[in-house]
Amino acid sequence: MDRAVVPVLAVPLLVTSRMQLMLPVQETPFISERSYNNEEVIIDGDKMPGTPAALGASLAGKDRGIFHVEKAEYWRFIHITLTKGPYGVYVKDSHNNYFERLTTHSNYETGFHMQNSISNNEIVYLDTYNNADPRNNGQNADGMAIKEGSGAGNIIRGIRSYENSDDGIDLYEFKSSVTILDNIIFDNGVNRWNFNPHRGDGIGIKLGGGSPANRANVNHVARNNFSFRNRRGFSDNNMPGDMTLIHNTAWKNREEGFNQRTSMATYENNLAANNAGSSSLSKQNTLNSVKGKGNNWEKGGSWQDADFKATSTSLVKGRRQADGKITRSDFLRPVDGGNYGATTHWV
């Protein structure tokens, strides 16, 4: 049960500086900041510093995020939209928080960003899209990021991250394991802003990376995720560790569906199809030091769109249900009934 609820009324809010939460450690139960009576709340950061910052400019840490959450514990943030800010949500050195049904779109940095000491936070049913950073020609604006830090127990679940200038989900230089479950990631890394040059990577789910000195062995778990029409579907980005990928689908990414070059990894019941411009199952992935079973490419041959029950992306783009889940469908489910790939039938 929540200890207290801070309601936010459903009127458009135009803010000129960050809404900062720097809170002392407190005991459970939670304090909630949520929309009043489940109404839609939109917080517009278009008058804040850095909206947008000039090409090559810096952005002070204190100016990051419409919601700037620092040293906060046991808070819930529910059903709020944050748009046109220098980051939508920026979380630093915070633990045991819960974020549900937020929307972060059209921000000038990453939509939802966490870094430094970060543990036991859960991000659920987030929609994050159309975020881009003009000051870096699109290099760093992800939909969702947990980066440059460490801390156990973080979960990203049921989010949709799409049409961002860089990656869908980015775990760059994060040195602890993260669970990535039931997410739909697509159309990231496409230059919709006429950046010249466009510097975004466009990896759907990036499982680490960074300079050798800032990498660490991590055991990320990615289960039941869709990653499609990005530059790459899934990549360890040269991060070491022993990762687990189960029941994921990579479809129509411009390069590989799965790219696992450095880490050890277990792959079970995954599906890759029509990536890198090829229907040949032997050309879908770049996998080193991977053990696995039950993946669709193990049988060889080819895979066409006709081998799926449904391919219309409208099935996963619609309005969420009241509980935050998306409507169940046969999107990218195999006609042959094989036990591989992701499903929208979330538990």
Catalytic positions, written as ranges: 206
Q: Are 12 and 42 in contact (CB under 8 A)?
A: yes
Query: What single-letter DSSP state applies at residue 319?
Result: P
Q: How far apart are CA 239 and CA 262, in angstroms?
A: 6
294: enclosing H helix or E strand: none
What are the residues facing 119 on neighbouring strands? 95
Report yes or no: 168 and 143 within 8 Å, Cβ to Cβ.
Answer: yes
Tell me the residue type at 144.
Answer: M
Cβ contact 143:188 at 8 Å: yes
* DSSP SS3 for 139: coil
CB-CB contact of 138 with 193 (8 Å) = yes
Please enumerate in sequence order all residues whose Cβ is within 8 A of that of 21, keeping only pairs 6 or more positions apart, or say none.
67, 68, 69, 70, 72, 75
Asked if residues 312 and 333 have their Cβ atoms less than 8 Å apart, the reply is no
